[in-house]
């Protein structure tokens, strides 16, 4: 028998004591009482009871880190897609069962109370969720770290479907307050914007003085991040913008009521909304200001803390502070640190530059050209005049010193590597700025990191051969298994140590059980129970009845052409057509489940959502097919919905065009919970196949080299349309009114897009995708083989623990060590 070690020590607290604390908070913090309290009040009272432990942890961790003076990480990210915090905090504190029992004795189901918490959706998708997993892992590994971001009033929009079309509604996550956050007005910062730069010549020295046109206050809100085991509690510090002066009393008193408010309204706009664009450049002045606002506030905060601990001498600043740029969004932090060091701290340029480069590192999350941010030089000059000068200085030194030395006289290379892109309008390339100003640049899966070097930044790689590294993404097993899949967690704990959420490699202990009939049965019974639960969720959300005996085939991610939800749709239509042609068509019943939000301005993505909804409506109501196929598009896909769906998934759709999905992390969550991947050789799918074994994933489609070859040869989608009878039939189907009775042509745009341009090569992969689905069907019908493959997926996924990713960053990029908080 393995020892039943546990990392999460249950605090010496009985359910009875915890109940007393919850009731005390219900009365004294919430001002209500047991007979009258709503579920929401119970939820807040529970949060307050939990916070007694959480905030002690924050103080304990702060004190330890301040005393030790260890090198700390600052994770700068415009997005943190946190989801709900309560269940995670309970799990990480080891208080979950105590809370469950306490609530039971009060006549409450913990699941209902947890359900009251709104998702904290301060992110769009992969990049934002990755940041959330990473801060969980940093806290768990006791790494002194702060996550820095924006305290958006409205997170990612709430999605509704009206007659099958996506409608966006504002997110209101803080409408009734957020029990987890603390405002820290004592650490507020003042941020400058606009204005002009004055050159001053004093005592033989030139210096620059920025006279801002306006100033904004940045107010920090701290959200505790509880590490697993509860000992170490880091914080996520999110900045809110406020007017520097609340409003102008003189204007107010002379009757200008509205004008008096206008400045504060404008200032507060900065942290009003999260840009809902995923992987596309927003290109808006407000977005640039958001980026600068939080970068500048964060740097000022890091400086303040450094000086409080070490005094005015900044000699050790770069030794003690690492700053990670989560994509190029915070890249303006590079010239900001230069500005602070040179203009405010009087450092010589070269010294300041060495410190800056020693401080920053940058993670690239995508190769899509439209996502590589560029800002017009004129815009930066207007909003941040001093930063524009600094960027030009960085660029000129880089080109005339480093590039010229390596490639003397080569203007083509200079043009390519320059931070300034010449053209009708001069643009600032934030990617180039990030590479030049960082000591290390990483991609997020092996293939992606290789492509970053080979295709995106080959000359930079030649110039600095050791700058580019890979850190494969990961997910926190605390949220994505322990908390979201209690049945599976309980089952595996019968066989391996209970500290697996901390040491995920212990899952390999399940491998010998993959062939064991009894374990297979239990494993699949867990999956079935999870599916039964989710059947109810589907009914509530969509009104559609589905059977838990069908295969649950799941595609959940942002809606983007490169992710190819429409390839999934074409296959569904082909299956439907086969069953219509032959009612005895032999297939195991399948439920296709989609969850995806489209950027509000992304037209074709919204058309794809509409097409899936229309096809779903038709299929779900067609008696002829005998419930063999069901299609559901779950509205408002978000972290908390993913937590319910992932444990119930059989098949994981990871079908991006090879070379386009940098990594993917949903692929890891689904595989860890025992779903079989159907996927292309893209992103982390490749590494999942390596770990789980190629027999236990179903790979199809073109690989990166095939894609390049086809592009070079000249890709003509119409050739594929014409030469495959089934493909032609389903595409033509989109044109008539079969799926939109009485309204022909409503779905025609999806067909036109595919037959006329097909930028992500859906059609060439169609046939091989259909074959892959045949394999899935055959495998599922072989119950033993399926169970074995599913178990081996769960047992083999330890590599994708975000603790491992963070250890890689800590060792190879940040050079930091964990420091366990002590009471």
Assess whether 39 carries a catalytic annotation. Answer: no
Q: Closer to ligand AZC by CB, 662 or 707: give it.
A: 662
Taking residue 691's Cβ as centre, other Cβ atoms within 10 Å add up to: 20
C-alpha Rg value of the chain to the nearest Å: 27
3-state secondary structure at position 672: helix
Site string for ligand AZC, 720-749 (x = CB under 6 A): ------------------------------
Contact letters (x/-) for ligand AZC, 182-221, by CB under 6 A?
Answer: ----------------------------------------
Q: Provide the 8-state DSSP code for 456.
A: I
Token reading at 353: 């530059």
Q: Does 683 bind ligand AZC (CB under 6 A)?
A: yes
The verdict on 659 binding ligand AZC (CB under 6 A) reads: no
Rule CB under 6 A: is residue 127 a binding residue for ligand AZC? yes
Beta bridge partners of 326: 363
Closest by alpha carbon to 427, among 380, 382, 386, 383? Answer: 380
Q: Which is nearer to ligand AZC, 495 or 560 (CB)?
A: 560
Distances (CA, A) of 184 to 81, 155, 189, 238: 22, 21, 11, 10
For ligand AZC, the closer CB: 276 or 683: 683
Cα separation values, 100 from 526, 633, 804, Å: 21, 32, 31
Site for ligand AZC in 406-445 (CB under 6 A): 444
- Using rule CB under 6 A, residue 598 touches ligand AZC: no
Contacting ligand AZC within 256-285 (CB under 6 A)? 278-279
Q: How many residues bind ligand AZC (CB under 6 A)?
A: 18
Q: Which of 365, 479, 628, 630 is catalytic?
A: 365
Distances (CA, A) of 621 to 161, 545, 555, 557, 746: 18, 11, 22, 26, 19
Choosing from 118, 126, 224, 701, the residue that interacts with ligand AZC (CB under 6 A) is: 126
110 counts as binding ligand AZC under rule CB under 6 A: no
Q: Which of 169, 168, 167, 170 is nearest to 153 (CA)?
A: 170
In the bound state with ligand AZC, the residue whose beta carbon lies nearer, of 427 and 573, is: 427
- In whole angstroms, the minimum distance from the beta carbon of 98 to ligand AZC comes to 35
Q: Indicate whether 135 belongs to the interface with ligand AZC (CB under 6 A).
A: no
Stretch that binds ligand AZC, among 195-203, 458-466, 503-511, 658-666 (CB under 6 A): 658-666
Helix (H, G, I), strand (E, B), or coil: what is residue 43? helix
The DSSP H or E segment spanning 623 is none
Nearer to ligand AZC, 367 or 538 (CB): 367
Closest CA to 722 of 712, 736, 732: 732
**Please, which residue, 364 or 620, has the CB nearer to ligand AZC?**
364
Q: Name the one range near ligand AZC by CB under 6 A: 121-129, 195-203, 332-340, 567-575.
A: 121-129
Which region among 47-55, 119-127, 177-185, 516-524 touches ligand AZC (by CB under 6 A)? 119-127
Q: To the nearest whole angstrom, how small is the minimum distance from the Cβ of residue 760 to ligand AZC?
A: 13
Residue 125 binds to ligand AZC (criterion: CB under 6 A): yes
In whole angstroms, give the CA distance from residue 59 to residue 236.
Answer: 14
Tell me which of 44, 237, 495, 557 is the catalytic residue.
557
Cβ closer to ligand AZC: 320 or 451?
Answer: 451
Q: Which of 151, 566, 606, 669 is catalytic?
A: 669
- Of 25, 71, 237, 563, catalytic: 563
Element (H, E) at 37: none
Please indicate whether residue 162 is annotated as part of the active site.
no
Q: Is residue 484 within 8 Å of 772, Cβ to Cβ? A: no
Express the helix, strand and coil content of the chain in percent, nearest 5 each: 50, 15, 30
* Cβ proximity of 360 and 299 under 8 Å: no
* 15-28 vs 96-105: helix crossing angle, rounded to 10: 70
- Is 665 a residue of the active site? yes
Catalytic residue among 356, 476, 665, 680: 665
Strand, coil or helix: 255: coil
Question: Would you count residue 665 as binding ligand AZC (CB under 6 A)?
Answer: yes
Helix or strand run (H / E) with residue 270: none
Using DSSP, state whether 150 is helix, strand or coil: strand
366 binds ligand AZC (CB under 6 A): yes
Q: Which helix (H) or strand (E) holds 739?
A: none
Told to check if 13 binds ligand AZC by CB under 6 A, we report: no
Cite the DSSP H helix spans in 682-761. 685-692, 704-713, 717-723, 725-733, 748-752
Give whichever of 444 and 798 is closer to ligand AZC, judged by the CB atom: 444
**Residue 324 in the binding site for ligand AZC (CB under 6 A):** no
**Active site (annotated) includes residue 603:** no
Is 390 near ligand AZC (CB under 6 A)?
A: no
Chosen residue from 47, 72, 150, 371 binding ligand AZC by CB under 6 A = 371
In angstroms, the CA 339 to CA 357 distance is 14
What phi and psi, each to the nearest 5 degrees, are found at residue 795? -75, -15
User: CB under 6 A: which stretch of 45-53, 488-496, 662-670, 789-797 binds ligand AZC?
Assistant: 662-670
Given the complex with ligand AZC, which of 298 and 663 has the nearer CB atom? Answer: 663
Q: Tell me if 54 sits within 8 A of 226, measured CB to CB.
A: yes
Instruction: For residue 147, state whether it binds ligand AZC (rule: CB under 6 A).
Output: no
Contact 743, 737 (CB under 8 A): yes
Question: Does position 664 bind ligand AZC by CB under 6 A?
Answer: yes
**Angle made by CA atoms 367, 358, 444, in degrees to the nearest 5:** 25
| Catalytic residue check, 557 | yes
Alpha helices in 602-724 (DSSP H): 603-620, 639-645, 666-672, 685-692, 704-713, 717-723
Is 453 among the catalytic positions?
no
Residue 663 in the binding site for ligand AZC (CB under 6 A): yes
CB-wise, 83 or 683, nearer to ligand AZC? 683
Interacting residue with ligand AZC among 153, 181, 222, 327 (CB under 6 A): 327
Length of the chain: 823
Q: Closest separation between CB of residue 211 and ligand AZC, Å?
A: 34
Site string for ligand AZC, 459-478 (x = CB under 6 A): --------------x-----
555 binding ligand AZC? (CB under 6 A)? no
Q: Is residue 661 at the binding interface for ligand AZC, with CB under 6 A as the rule? A: yes
- Please tell me whether residue 617 binds ligand AZC under the rule CB under 6 A: no
164 binds ligand AZC (CB under 6 A): no
Cβ atoms of 667 and 689 closer than 8 Å = no
Cα separation of the two ends of the chain = 34
- Catalytic one among 192, 558, 630, 799? 558
**Is 593:634 a contact under the CB 8 Å cutoff?**
yes
Q: In which element (H, E) is residue 378 found?
A: helix 377-383
Rounding to the nearest 10 degrees, give the CA dihedral for residues 788, 794, 798, 799: 80
687: contact with ligand AZC by CB under 6 A: no
Q: Does 372 bind ligand AZC (CB under 6 A)?
A: no
* Residue 644 CA from chain centroid, whole number: 18
- Rounded to the nearest whole angstrom, what is the least distance from the CB of residue 661 to ligand AZC in the complex? 5
Residues annotated as part of the active site: 365, 557-558, 563, 665, 669
- What is the binding site for ligand AZC (CB under 6 A)? 125-127, 130, 278-279, 327, 365-366, 371, 444, 473, 661-665, 683
């Amino acid at each position: 028998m393995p020892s039943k070690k546990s990392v999460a020590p249950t605090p010496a607290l009985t359910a009875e004591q915890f109940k007393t604390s919850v009731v005390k908070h219900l009365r004294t913090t919430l001002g209500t009482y047991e007979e009258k309290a709503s579920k929401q009040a119970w939820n807040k009272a529970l949060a307050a009871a939990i916070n007694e432990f959480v905030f002690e942890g924050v103080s304990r961790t702060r004190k330890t880190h301040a005393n030790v003076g260890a090198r700390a990480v600052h994770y700068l990210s415009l997005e943190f897609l946190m989801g709900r915090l309560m269940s995670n905090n309970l799990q990480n504190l080891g208080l979950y069962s105590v809370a469950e029992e306490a609530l039971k004795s009060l006549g409450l189901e913990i699941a209902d109370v947890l359900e009251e918490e709104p998702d904290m959706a301060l992110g769009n998708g992969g990049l934002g969720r990755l940041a959330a997993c990473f801060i969980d892992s940093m806290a768990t590994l006791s790494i002194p770290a702060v996550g820095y971001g924006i305290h958006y009033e409205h997170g990612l929009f709430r999605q509704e479907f009206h007659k099958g079309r996506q409608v966006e509604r504002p997110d209101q996550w803080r409408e009734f307050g957020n029990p987890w956050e603390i405002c820290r007005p004592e650490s507020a910062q003042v941020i400058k914007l606009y204005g002009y730069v004055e050159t001053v010549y004093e005592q033989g020295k030139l210096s620059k003085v920025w006279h801002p046109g306006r100033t904004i206050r940045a107010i920090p809100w701290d959200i505790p991040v509880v590490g697993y085991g509860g000992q170490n509690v880091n914080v996520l510090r999110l900045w809110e913008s406020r007017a520097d002066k609340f409003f102008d009393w003189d204007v107010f008193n002379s009757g200008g009521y509205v004008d008096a408010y206008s400045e504060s309204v404008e200032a507060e706009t900065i942290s009003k909304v999260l840009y809902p664009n995923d992987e596309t450049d927003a290109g808006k002045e407000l977005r640039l200001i958001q980026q600068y606002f939080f970068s500048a506030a964060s740097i000022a905060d890091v400086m303040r803390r450094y000086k409080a601990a070490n005094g005015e001498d900044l000699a050790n600043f770069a030794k003690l502070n690492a700053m990670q740029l989560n994509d190029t969004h915070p890249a303006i932090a590079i010239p900001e640190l230069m500005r602070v060091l040179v203009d405010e701290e009087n450092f010589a340029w070269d010294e300041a530059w060495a410190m800056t480069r020693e401080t920053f590192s940058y993670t690239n999350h995508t190769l899509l050209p439209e996502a590589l941010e560029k800002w017009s030089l004129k815009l930066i000059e207007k909003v941040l005049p001093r930063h524009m000068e600094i960027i030009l200085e960085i660029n000129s030194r880089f080109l005339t010193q480093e590039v010229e030395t390596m490639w003397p006289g080569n203007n083509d290379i200079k043009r390519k590597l320059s931070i300034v892109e010449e053209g009708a309008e001069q643009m600032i390339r934030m990617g180039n700025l990030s590479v030049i100003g960082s000591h290390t640049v990483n991609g997020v899966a092996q293939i992606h990191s290789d492509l970053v070097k080979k295709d995106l930044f080959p000359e930079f790689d030649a110039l600095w051969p050791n700058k580019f590294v890979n850190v494969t993404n990961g997910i926190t097993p605390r949220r994505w298994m322990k908390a979201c899949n209690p049945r599976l967690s309980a089952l595996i704990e019968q066989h391996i140590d209970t500290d697996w959420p901390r040491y995920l490699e212990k899952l390999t202990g399940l491998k010998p059980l993959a062939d064991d009939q009894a374990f297979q049965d239990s494993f699949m019974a867990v999956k079935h129970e999870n599916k039964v639960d989710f059947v109810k969720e589907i009914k509530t959300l969509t009104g559609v009845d589905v059977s838990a005996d069908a295969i649950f085939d799941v595609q959940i991610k942002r809606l983007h052409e490169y992710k190819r939800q429409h390839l999934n749709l074409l296959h569904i239509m082909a299956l439907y057509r086969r069953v219509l042609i032959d009612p005895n068509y032999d297939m195991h019943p399948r439920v296709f489940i989609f969850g995806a939000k489209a950027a509000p301005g992304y037209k074709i993505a919204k058309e794809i959502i509409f097409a899936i909804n229309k096809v779903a409506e038709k299929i779900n109501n067609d008696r002829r097919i005998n419930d063999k196929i069901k299609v559901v598009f779950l509205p408002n896909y978000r972290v908390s919905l993913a937590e319910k769906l992932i444990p119930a998934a059989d098949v994981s759709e990871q079908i991006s065009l090879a070379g386009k999905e940098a990594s993917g992390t949903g692929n890891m969550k689904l595989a860890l919970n025992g779903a079989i991947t159907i996927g292309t050789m893209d992103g982390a799918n490749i590494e999942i196949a390596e770990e789980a074994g190629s027999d236990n994933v179903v790979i199809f489609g073109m690989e990166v080299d095939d894609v390049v070859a086809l592009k070079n040869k000249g890709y003509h989608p119409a050739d594929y349309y014409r030469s495959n009878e089934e493909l032609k039939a389903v595409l033509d189907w989109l044109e008539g009114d079969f799926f939109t009775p009485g309204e022909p042509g409503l779905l025609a745009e999806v067909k036109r897009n595919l037959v006329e341009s097909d930028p992500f090569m859906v059609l060439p992969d169609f046939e091989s995708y259909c074959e892959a689905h045949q394999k899935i069907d055959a495998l599922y019908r072989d119950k033993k083989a399926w169970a074995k493959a599913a178990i081996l997926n769960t047992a083999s996924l330890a590599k994708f623990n975000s603790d491992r990713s963070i250890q890689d960053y800590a060792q190879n990029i940040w050079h930091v060590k964990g420091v366990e908080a002590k009471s």
